[in-house]
Structure 1
Amino acid sequence: MAESQPLSAQPCGAEYLRAVLRSPVYEVAQVTPLQKMEKISSRLGNTILVKREDRQPVHSFKLRGAYAMIASLNAQQRAAGVVTASAGNHAQGVALSATRLGIKSLIVMPVTTADIKVEAVRAFGGEAYLFGANFDEARAKALEMAEQSGYTFIPPFDHPMVIAGQGTLAMELLQQDAHIDRVFVPVGGGGLAAGVAVLIKQLMPQIKVIGVEAEDSACLKAALEAGEPVDLSRVGLFAEGVAVRRIGSETFRLCQQYLDDIVTVDSDAICAAVKDLFEDTRAIAEPSGALALAGMKKYIQQHQINGERLAHVLSGANVNFHALRYVSERCELGEQREALLAVTIPEQQGSFLRFCQLLGGRAVTEFNYRYASPDSACIFVGVRLSRGLEERSEILHQLEAGGYKVVDLSDDEMAKLHVRYMVGGRPGKPLREKLFSFEFPEAPGALLRFLQTLGTHWNISLFHYRSHGTDYGRVLAAFELSDNEPQFAEHLAALGYDFHDETSNPAFRFFLAG
């Protein structure tokens, strides 16, 4: 196999076009189908097409960029081998690409990486090296090993050859349907969005290319607002395939120049899109794989789009099976098909019946209650919706008009993650407590570290954890604290886990606080 020609540091659009046309990715990658989604097309009044990158040998588009760059290495670089840092799809793309080209590959993965991902890398011929508590530490180690041992570091997105490899997807897309009006592309580090946008704008600039980001990892949006790449202070991990703290320099340059628009979506909308993909195609997308469809749905609604041909990229399907429980629970909220409410009702016989009668025959999806006082009860209730936000507003007005005190928790993340599973647990005496939510790494010793850092100094008055099948766990914990305890803040910082103060959260005040 002949090595492909490397690109300059900041190629122009024409150079990228030539690189895509000459790309050798089809020595290992597949031309993936562009499939019409019949059900959602009918529902949304547009022709919705999905580019099935889940059909690649590594079940993700990442194979394209990894192979394009590794194939461009010279004989000396190939002999030395390649290294990268990844806990996800890029790791598998590098492992398979290097194996096909007869090159040694070393994949540095955080020690918290799920066994299924480590085994996948090894199955594709890569050597998995577990190091560090997170991606940043793994990446630093990979760069150190590249410096010391002469390996070539294969970045996941911010390199012209990687971007050109991802651009081959857009070439296929135009060959499969040249009458598309808009293309929606997921954005993490920006490699796929940059490759798709630069290629389409060279050949058919009238096609709009829209980037889609997860709200809690919108590094491109932040960079566009700042005029340059910036670090996000915090990155959500649900759509881990796009959980990137900082957009790449070259990917930002191209996205800023060629993307027509961006849209952000929350986790519930992503869960709803996972369900849509399954119902239409029977594909089971990972959260980042369904991101583009979630963004497309929001964009259609925002801009009242009708009668267009719209394509989106199903970018990956390497989903942890146990994460599907979370997706299933949240997809109804993402489609605005369920309302979650906290309602105070009289503590007397027949109250639940009267409450349900006031709902007008709507289906109750969840009802949590425990006796708390002789006078009134706080209930946590889910109600099925058929008309989305409009109907939710109607229900709130009906309950308030009926004399009930009601709080809408449908958009309250803490209520959806924790409180719905904890309703009825009030302390038997007044407590001076503060409530915090944490993200724990799913690794041996994470809970022990938490307890050793915080639990030996302050009384833990509440604790809730529920696994969602991801590489991290979400924990809710309350501590008995006075108003002025600077040492607690110091210990929180020393713990090193992401956290938020939830003491004022209405769901906590309603159901759990003393």
Structure 2
Amino acid sequence: KQYTSLQLPINKTLISYLKLRESLKTPQLSLSLSIYLFLPTRRHKQLTMAALCFTVSPVLPLGGQTNKDVTKPRSLRKQLKITAQSAANNPAAAAAVTDAVIRQERIEMSTLMAPVFPPPLMRVAAESLQYESGLLGAVPKQKAAGDGGVHNAMSYLTRILSSKVYDVAIESPLDSAPKLSERLGVHVWLKREDLQPVFSFKLRGAYSMMAKLTREQLAKGVICSSAGNHAQGVALSAQKLGCNAVIAMPVTTPEIKWKTVERMGATVVLVGESYDETQSYAKQRAKEEGRIFIPPFDHPDVIAGQGTVGMEIVRQMPGPLHAIFVPVGGGGLIAGIAAYVKRVRPEVKVIGVEPFDANAMALSLYHGQRIMLDQVGGFADGVAVKAVGEEPFGLCKELIDGVVLVSRDAICASIKDMFEENRSILEPAGALAMAGAEAYCKYYGLKGESVVAITSGANMNFDRLGLVSQLADVGRRSEAVLATFVPEKWGNFIQFYKLVGPMNISEFRYRYDAHKEQALILYSVSFGTTFELEKLQDWMKSASLHTLNLTDNDLVKDHLQFLVGGRSNVENEIVCRFIFPERPGALGKFLDSFSVRWNITLFHYRDQGESGANVLVGFQVAASEMDEFKSLANSLRCDYKFETDNELLDLLLR
């Protein structure tokens, strides 16, 4: 972008502005012009000078190569100077517009070939911003300065009020959660978006955008890329509007999901091994066939459709309300809710909730710009995005009150809470706001207030219920995973058991090793209060038994607890954790890539459903071969992390 300003006599400024605007109309330039008037002072009572400021952006064609016909910055500045001077030398024309008041005008060129490519987003690690669960962090700078920042919400109010989402969506109920409310000491209300026809709020945004398409656009059809709830929302909306819909889904999409979309009348295309590949296909096909691409969150009409959730909450909750907790993925839902609520009930807090390992919004707010996560956790797959939307972020940085981060265990505990409340089962992303509300209320000691948590979806994969059940009690802080080291002597295990016998032990793992002086016992213990757990730890300490609390360590819960007892000292061993999409033949391909070159020394595989397979694997790799190993690992295009230096790995397996 080129920024330039000219100072001109006031009686010649306006005509110069008009002349510049006319002379620079070209398909290769995006032009923005502004006039800033210098106000008179006591010393200079007459207004004599004005600044004419303009921004000119060369437009790049698709592919990122600069068009040779685009005006170069140097010649552009020369052209602007000549045009301004010629306009300033025409006093008669200037006099004709002296009485006009032009403060700011933006020239929108309808003939633009393509938008200017934005700079790449800064890549950061989710671990770079971690704070205590329940803490309201990542507070936008405007909020920190006390700025209400509701001006950007104005244009959304009309969109939300006039939305046609109720052609297909229901006004979801706002249900009380008496058991959770009693436990927390606050009034918890659940906004039941999991009861929508497609069991998710995504229907609102898709229909809101599609209902505004012209007949000609609907006749050409729509297309989207999604492996989840957005796909069903677009399919049902297309069915209602009578248009053809193509849904591009990754080849790893479970059959039950793509068949559900197909039954709604949409054409399903399985393409691409990652979401990025699938999205690229969908956008290219949209361009070739003239279809309208329906984004999942980054569009004003989609945001407005999601914003109807906030409108309903305000209508259904007329009394005092402390906060609304919203799950955050791309940001469309929280942006829409905040745009409405902050305009109508500005005293109500709008708080986002993200998993610790999928905190793209928190990091974006922290850095003051959109960022790209280098890796994203896939457990709550409905919010597993690497970058939030541009439009949602623009609203969120002005309107929301911050973001609460929660663990995978806490999400599982909230799924169990929902089941105990009304026998409904939420998907992980659907229970995210409940987990955030509970963590926030506990952290700040909130009592007697009313809070709303949005249960955003119930499209749970049945095969994930086992993992949810395993982690739910840990997330509720009613079960702990402990490791105790005892002298490796005959009969010591029985003595240890007698020591912990009064506690409710749900699981034991132990294996005798004659070559070790100390044995490791890994076990899970249920407890009613933290006092009981502290009492057990005091017992261990008084008996000189070193004990570690591993409850919050995902590596232990995912892998190491299943490998205890298989200790080994392997020369040149490295250990990595890989996450790759689960599909037929994927595991074999993964193993074949490495086994022909390096010996596999450790292996534990865990299927995590739609979010992929989680594999802990060890290899014998010499130091001189590390670059070759990393190159091969990177070529697989899956997330991985070295765990070789993890202290727990040494304690439990070596």
- Pairwise same-fold verdict (TM > 0.5): yes
How many angstroms apart in 2 are the aligned matches of 1:430 and 1:197?
55
Give the aligned partner of residue 140 of structure 1.
280
How many angstroms apart in 1 are the aligned matches of 2:264 and 2:639?
33
User: Which AA in structure 1 matches 2:368?
Assistant: G
Whether 1:406 and 2:564 are equivalent positions in the alignment is no
- Out of 252, 273, 293, which is 1:153 matched to? 293
User: Which AA in structure 2 matches 1:103?
Assistant: C
How many angstroms apart in 2 are the aligned matches of 1:238 and 1:395?
32
Give the aligned partner of residue 44 of structure 1.
184
Whether 1:252 and 2:398 are equivalent positions in the alignment is no
Give the aligned partner of residue 577 of structure 2.
437
How many angstroms apart in 2 are the aligned matches of 1:378 and 1:123?
53
Give the aligned partner of residue 417 of structure 2.
276
- Residues 298-351 of structure 1 show CA distances to partners (whole Å, capped at 9, x for unaligned) of 111111111001111000000100111110001111111112122112334442
Whether 1:164 and 2:334 are equivalent positions in the alignment is no
Shift of 1:419: 1.5
Q: 1:301-340, aligned counterparts within 5 Å?
A: 301-340=442-481
Q: Is the 8 A contact 1:185 1:313 kept in 2?
A: yes
How many angstroms apart in 1 are the aligned matches of 2:609 and 2:635?
26
- Out of 261, 276, 285, which is 1:121 matched to? 261
* Greater shift in the superposed pair: 414-423 or 78-87: 414-423
Give the aligned partner of residue 87 of structure 1.
227
- Out of 89, 94, 102, which is 2:242 matched to? 102
- Out of 367, 372, 386, which is 2:508 matched to? 367
Give the aligned partner of residue 6 of structure 1.
none
Shift of 1:507: 3.4
User: Which AA in structure 1 matches 2:228?
Assistant: G
Q: Find the residue that maps to 2:618 and give its secondary structure.
A: strand
- Out of 479, 503, 506, which is 2:644 matched to? 503
User: Which AA in structure 2 matches 1:291?
Assistant: L
Shift of 1:120: 1.1
Change (3 A) 1:12 1:346: closer
How many angstroms apart in 2 are the aligned matches of 1:397 and 1:140?
57
Give the aligned partner of residue 404 of structure 2.
263
How many angstroms apart in 1 are the aligned matches of 2:499 and 2:434?
36
How many angstroms apart in 1 are the aligned matches of 2:645 and 2:532?
27
User: Which AA in structure 1 matches 2:596?
Assistant: T
- Residues 107-165 of structure 1 show CA distances to partners (whole Å, capped at 9, x for unaligned) of 11000011111011111221111110111110111111111110100000010000000
Q: 1:329-478, aligned counterparts within 5 Å?
A: 329-359=470-500, 361-373=502-514, 375-388=517-530, 391-427=532-568, 430-478=570-618
How many angstroms apart in 1 are the aligned matches of 2:448 and 2:611?
40
User: Which AA in structure 2 matches 1:426?
Assistant: R
Q: Find the residue that maps to 2:512 and give its secondary structure.
A: coil
Q: Find the residue that maps to 2:631 and give its secondary structure.
A: helix
User: Which AA in structure 2 matches 1:70?
Assistant: M
Shift of 1:487: 1.1
* Greater shift in the superposed pair: 252-261 or 284-293: 252-261
Q: Find the residue that maps to 1:510 and give its secondary structure.
A: helix
TM-score by length of 1: 0.94
Shift of 1:391: 4.7
Give the aligned partner of residue 33 of structure 1.
173
How many angstroms apart in 2 are the aligned matches of 1:358 and 1:451?
44
How many angstroms apart in 2 are the aligned matches of 1:221 and 1:391?
35
Q: Is the 8 A contact 1:11 1:160 kept in 2?
A: no
Gaps of 5+ in 1: 1-9
Give the aligned partner of residue 622 of structure 2.
482
- Residues 424-463 of structure 1 show CA distances to partners (whole Å, capped at 9, x for unaligned) of 2224x64331111110210123122212321110000111
Give the aligned partner of residue 5 of structure 1.
none
Q: Is the 8 A contact 1:449 1:495 kept in 2?
A: no
How many angstroms apart in 1 are the aligned matches of 2:430 and 2:316?
20
Computed over aligned residues only, the root mean square deviation of the Cα atoms, in angstroms, reads: 1.7
User: Which AA in structure 2 matches 1:77?
Assistant: Q
Q: Find the residue that maps to 1:378 and give its secondary structure.
A: strand
User: Which AA in structure 2 matches 1:81?
Assistant: G
How many angstroms apart in 2 are the aligned matches of 1:430 and 1:317?
45
How many angstroms apart in 1 are the aligned matches of 2:537 and 2:263?
54
Shift of 1:352: 3.0
- Out of 59, 62, 68, which is 2:208 matched to? 68
Shift of 1:206: 1.3
Structure with the greater alpha carbon radius of gyration: 2
User: Which AA in structure 2 matches 1:63?
Assistant: L
Shift of 1:198: 0.8
- In the alignment of these two chains, the number of paired residues is 502
How many angstroms apart in 1 are the aligned matches of 2:373 and 2:228?
20
Give the aligned partner of residue 200 of structure 1.
341
How many angstroms apart in 2 are the aligned matches of 1:462 and 1:349?
29
Gaps of 5+ in 2: 1-149
How many angstroms apart in 2 are the aligned matches of 1:325 and 1:440?
20
- Residues 18-60 of structure 1 show CA distances to partners (whole Å, capped at 9, x for unaligned) of 1111111111001111111110100000011101111100000
Shift of 1:360: 6.7
User: Which AA in structure 2 matches 1:487?
Assistant: E
Q: Is the 8 A contact 2:505 2:525 kept in 1?
A: yes
Q: Find the residue that maps to 2:521 and give its secondary structure.
A: strand
- Residues 65-116 of structure 1 show CA distances to partners (whole Å, capped at 9, x for unaligned) of 0000000111111111000000000000000001110011001100001111
User: Which AA in structure 2 matches 1:87?
Assistant: A
How many angstroms apart in 2 are the aligned matches of 1:455 and 1:430?
16
Q: 1:150-229, aligned counterparts within 5 Å?
A: 150-179=290-319, 180-229=321-370
Q: Is the 8 A contact 1:325 1:468 kept in 2?
A: no
- Residues 476-505 of structure 1 show CA distances to partners (whole Å, capped at 9, x for unaligned) of 100012233221111111122211111222
TM-score by length of 2: 0.75
Q: Find the residue that maps to 1:121 and give its secondary structure.
A: helix
Change (3 A) 1:384 1:368: same
How many angstroms apart in 2 are the aligned matches of 1:208 and 1:167?
15
Give the aligned partner of residue 49 of structure 2.
none
- Residues 246-286 of structure 1 show CA distances to partners (whole Å, capped at 9, x for unaligned) of 01111001111111121111111111111111111211000
- Out of 367, 372, 380, which is 1:231 matched to? 372
Shift of 1:409: 1.5
Q: Is the 8 A contact 2:575 2:643 kept in 1?
A: yes
User: Which AA in structure 2 matches 1:351?
Assistant: N
Q: Is the 8 A contact 2:173 2:192 kept in 1?
A: yes
How many angstroms apart in 2 are the aligned matches of 1:119 and 1:197?
35
